[in-house]
Structure 1
Amino acid sequence: MHAEFGPDLNMVISVLQTALTPAFLLVAVGSLLNVLTGRLSRIIDRSRDLQTLHATTEGESHQRVVSELRIIERRMRVVGSSILFAVLSAIAVCVMISLLFLMGLTQFSAPWIAVAVFMLALLLLVACLLQFVHEIRLATYAIYVPEEYLELPEKTRRKG
């Protein structure tokens, strides 16, 4: 006579397959976090360079430095919130995986909770991506190329 002390192997394998499928989302969020932290690092480096220039510039050049520093400060906040949303999304995915394990290996059944947590993870990921696009737009706006470097014909020069 053999006593059963837990779920059988087939059930465990099935639960593992089901619960670990969302883990692929964790890989994607991790890659996104890597990109975001890299951008934050570059923003911080640029901020330090501009702060050094701040003390040595005058006139129009100084105004460009100040303007870019203001944009840099906004970019840091936007990237920071994007990182926060990505981390919260990853945490939600981990909670969902835990719920799937719990439901698969016990009598607890609340699939609507797992669906709600998954939807939350996706919404947080969307918020992260929207902030990421916002930061890219800010970065593009911050770039100033002096007209003399563009070597534009007279009729296409910037006004103003």
Structure 2
Amino acid sequence: MMFELLTASVASEILARTADTPRVLRAVELSLAPAFLLVGIGSIMNVMMARIIWIAGRIERLADSDKDNDDIAHASEVEWLRKRRRLVRVAIKFSTAAAVVISFVIAILFVSAYIEPRIGTVVAVLWVVTVALLITGLIYFFRETLLAADGPKIDARP
């Protein structure tokens, strides 16, 4: 009985706070910039995923085609591809973390229109963390693209 009263009270309080159209509009406006950043992160991750899928496919094709081949060029390309794959994996991890944090920012900004505590500092810190994670992911992705541009190093020494 007490739980039902408490639940009904909380539900009516939430309904009363969210019924205010200007508050809802403000919450939506506040969450637009982070939502656009989330879309951008998703687009970047799409490129990263295409890259890692290509690298993994190339490694598999090399493994299937040259099971008996132990030449230096083959081994060098496989090692080069593995280094690239490691860099892209790290880039994807940091970018995913950025997407998760900015999703929390969006949720917090939306909820902040309905609560009393001031949480601007939390939002600012999370925004900075998001950008730092994204920058780190992009640096790793940049390193991978530089490695891709260089090509595999073939050591022809016996």
- TM-score over 0.5 for the pair: yes
Partner residue, 1:111: 120
Question: TM-score if structure 1 supplies the norm length?
Answer: 0.80
Question: TM-score if structure 2 supplies the norm length?
Answer: 0.81
Partner residue, 1:102: 111
The percentage of aligned residue pairs carrying the same residue is: 25
Alignment gaps of 5+ in structure 1: 146-160
Contact preservation (8 Å) 1:53, 1:65: no
State the alpha-carbon separation in 1 of the partners of residues 23 and 127 from structure 2. Answer: 23
Q: Secondary structure at the match of 1:107?
A: coil
1:55 shift after superposition? 2.9
Contact preservation (8 Å) 1:47, 1:69: yes
1:144 shift after superposition? 7.2
Contact preservation (8 Å) 1:103, 1:110: yes
Partner residue, 1:131: 140
State the alpha-carbon separation in 2 of the partners of residues 21 and 12 from structure 1. Answer: 16
Partner residue, 2:55: 43
**Stretch of structure 1 that moved more, 45-54 or 63-72:** 45-54
Greater relative contact order (Cα 8 A, min sep 6): structure 1 or 2?
2
Question: Which of 93, 99, 109 is matched with 1:90 structurally?
Answer: 99
Question: Which of 23, 26, 32 is matched with 1:14 structurally?
Answer: 26
1:96 shift after superposition? 0.8
